Amino acid sequence: MVRPLLLMIATLLSSIAGGMPLSCQRSAPEVQDGIYDYKNLLEKKPVIRVLLVKDAREARLAIDDCYQITDSLANSIDQGQGLQKSTISINEGSISVGSRHYNTSEIRITTLREGRIEFNNIRYRGEIRILQQPNNRFSVIEEVDLESFIAGVVGSEMPKAWNEEALRAQAIIARTYAMYKRRVKQDKVYHLDMLELAYRGMLNETVRINKIVQETKGIIMVYNWNIFPAYFHSTCGGHTENCNHVFGDDSIPPLRGVVCNYCNNSKYSLWSKDISKSDIEKKLREANIYVSNIHTINALDQGLGEHCSRIEIISADGTREMSANGFRLLIGPNYLYSTAFDSRSNGKSITFSGKGLGHGVGLCQYGAQNMAKNGFGYESILKHYYPKIELVRVY
C-alpha cells in the first residue's frame, strides 16, 4: 500500500523534529539509491548536547583562538585571544578557569572563527558549557552540530580501518540513535552521555572517516516513518536478540532479531570465562545487592539469540533473580562479554561459556564488517539487521 505523502511527511516530522523550526516542503521526495531524499525537511542543522563529564572536581581546558564566555542568561562576561592550558574547578560558588573566576551557575565557551576547545586533552568542535553541581563539583556538556558529533563517534565505535560500507552503516546507525535521543530528551540538560555512544571529540576523526560520514550526511533509518533507537553491538554469536527481551522496549520489526551468519570470525564468537564468586559478590555489593556464599548462577529465559533476559543467583541467602543485562553491566562488560551464556559452579568460581560481545540487539558490527567484505553495501547491511526500515535523508 502506498501511504499518502502528507501523512508520511507529518509522521516523519513529529518523529524527528521535536520543537525545532520546520520547512514547509510538500513536494514528493526524490528516491535515489533507495534513499528518500527529504533534504530540506529541517530548516536548521540539528545540534546535539553531549555530557562529557559529570560530578568532576577538576579538569583541564585550553583554547587555540579567540573566544567568548557567556553566563546562564547569555550575557557576555569575558573574552580572550586564546587560553593556555588551565584548570577548571569550583571555588566558593564561582567557576574558576585558571586565575579567572566567574560568579555564575554556568558558563558557555564559544570560539570565534574555527577555533577549537581542548578539554581534558581532547579537542572539540562545539561549544562547551560548564555547569556547577553541588559539593564543589561540575559537569561539562558540549553542544555540537550532529554531523561533527557523528564524525567523532564512528571511529570510536568501530575500527577506523574497517570496510567503508560497514563504516557508512555505522554512521547512519549513530545518527539515527542520536536523533532519536535528541527527540525523546529534548527538554533535558543533555541528550546523550558518553556511555551511550562512544565519542572522543576530534580524537578518532580521520580524513577517510570524515569523508564517509559526509557521504551519508543527514541519512537516518525510519520504521513506519518513525525514528527508533538504533541499537548495535560488537558480536551477536549467530542470531541478534529481540529488544523487548533485553531492554523491555516495544518489540518493533527492526529490533526483533535476525540470523547472522557473518560474525563467527570474531574472537568473541565463542568464549569461556572463569569469574571468582568473591569478585561477583563484591561487584554486587558495590551496587547494594548483598549475597553471600554464591552456590551457582543460572541463565533464565533465553531468547532467539540465546541471550537470557534474567538470571538467578543461588546463594546462602536463598534465590535471587535479576535482569541479565543489568548483571552483565554490574560485573563489567569486559568480564562477562554477553548474556548468551551457560554457567556452572566450579569451586570458588563460576565458569561462563558463552557467545557474542554486547547486548545482542540491532546491528552486529563484526557481521556488518564481514557482509561488507563479501560485497554488500551499507543499505543491504542495514536492511538485513534492521528489517522493514527505510532510509531517509532529512537534511
**Residue located via cell numbers 585550553:** 62
Please give the distance of CA 200 from its chain centroid, rounded to a whole number: 12
Residue 166 CB, nearest approach to Zn ion (Å):
12
- Asked whether 372 and 165 are in contact (CB, 8 A), the reply is yes
Question: Which segment (125-133, 254-262, 317-325, 340-348) binds Zn ion by CB under 5 A?
Answer: 254-262
Contact status: 209 vs Zn ion (CB under 5 A): no
Q: Which grid cell is 166?
A: 560497514
- First and final C-alpha spacing in the chain: 26
Question: Which segment (86-94, 99-107, 246-254, 356-364) binds Zn ion by CB under 5 A?
Answer: 356-364
Question: Judged by CB, which is closer to Zn ion: 126, or 354?
Answer: 354
The residue within the footprint of Zn ion, chosen from 219, 260, 389, 392 (CB under 5 A), is 260
Which residues inside 30-89 make contact with Zn ion, applying CB under 5 A? Answer: none
Question: Which segment (36-44, 203-211, 299-307, 359-367) binds Zn ion by CB under 5 A?
Answer: 359-367
Contacts of 9 (CB under 8 A, 6+ apart): 25, 26, 38, 41
Residue 369 CB, nearest approach to Zn ion (Å):
10
Please give the distance of CA 390 from its chain centroid, rounded to a whole number: 21
**Residue located via cell numbers 521535536:** 18
Question: Judged by CB, which is closer to Zn ion: 8, or 260?
Answer: 260
Residue 241 CB, nearest approach to Zn ion (Å):
11
The residue within the footprint of Zn ion, chosen from 8, 95, 313, 364 (CB under 5 A), is 364
Q: At what angle do helices 164-184 and 146-157 cross, to 10 degrees?
A: 130
The residue within the footprint of Zn ion, chosen from 140, 174, 209, 236 (CB under 5 A), is 236
Q: Classify 92 in phi/psi space as left (phi over 0), alpha (psi -120 to 50) or beta.
A: left
Number of residues that bind Zn ion (CB under 5 A): 5
Question: Which segment (187-195, 209-217, 255-263, 317-325) binds Zn ion by CB under 5 A?
Answer: 255-263
Residue 340 CB, nearest approach to Zn ion (Å):
11
Please give the distance of CA 36 from its chain centroid, rounded to a whole number: 25
Question: Judged by CB, which is closer to Zn ion: 354, or 367?
Answer: 367
Q: Other C-beta atoms within 10 Å of 121: how many?
A: 11
Question: Which segment (19-27, 192-200, 242-250, 257-265) binds Zn ion by CB under 5 A?
Answer: 257-265
Question: Which segment (97-105, 123-131, 267-275, 358-366) binds Zn ion by CB under 5 A?
Answer: 358-366
Question: Which segment (121-129, 172-180, 190-198, 366-374) binds Zn ion by CB under 5 A?
Answer: 366-374
- Asked whether 279 and 273 are in contact (CB, 8 A), the reply is no
Residue 360 CB, nearest approach to Zn ion (Å):
9
Residue 375 CB, nearest approach to Zn ion (Å):
18
The residue within the footprint of Zn ion, chosen from 367, 370, 378, 386 (CB under 5 A), is 367
Residue 327 CB, nearest approach to Zn ion (Å):
22
- Asked whether 138 and 337 are in contact (CB, 8 A), the reply is no
Residue 224 CB, nearest approach to Zn ion (Å):
25
Question: Judged by CB, which is closer to Zn ion: 12, or 236?
Answer: 236
Residue 264 CB, nearest approach to Zn ion (Å):
8
- CA count, 13 A, side-chain hemisphere, 250: 7
Distance between CA atoms of residues 279 and 281, nearest Å: 5
Name residue 46's amino acid.
Answer: P
Cα–Cα distances (Å) from 161 to 16, 152, 154, 288, in that order, read 31, 15, 11, 42
DSSP string, 277-332: HHHHHHHHHHTT----SEEEEEEEEE-TTS-EEEEEEEETTEEEEEEHHHHHHHH-
Residue 365 CB, nearest approach to Zn ion (Å):
8
Binding site for Zn ion (CB under 5 A): 236, 260, 263, 364, 367
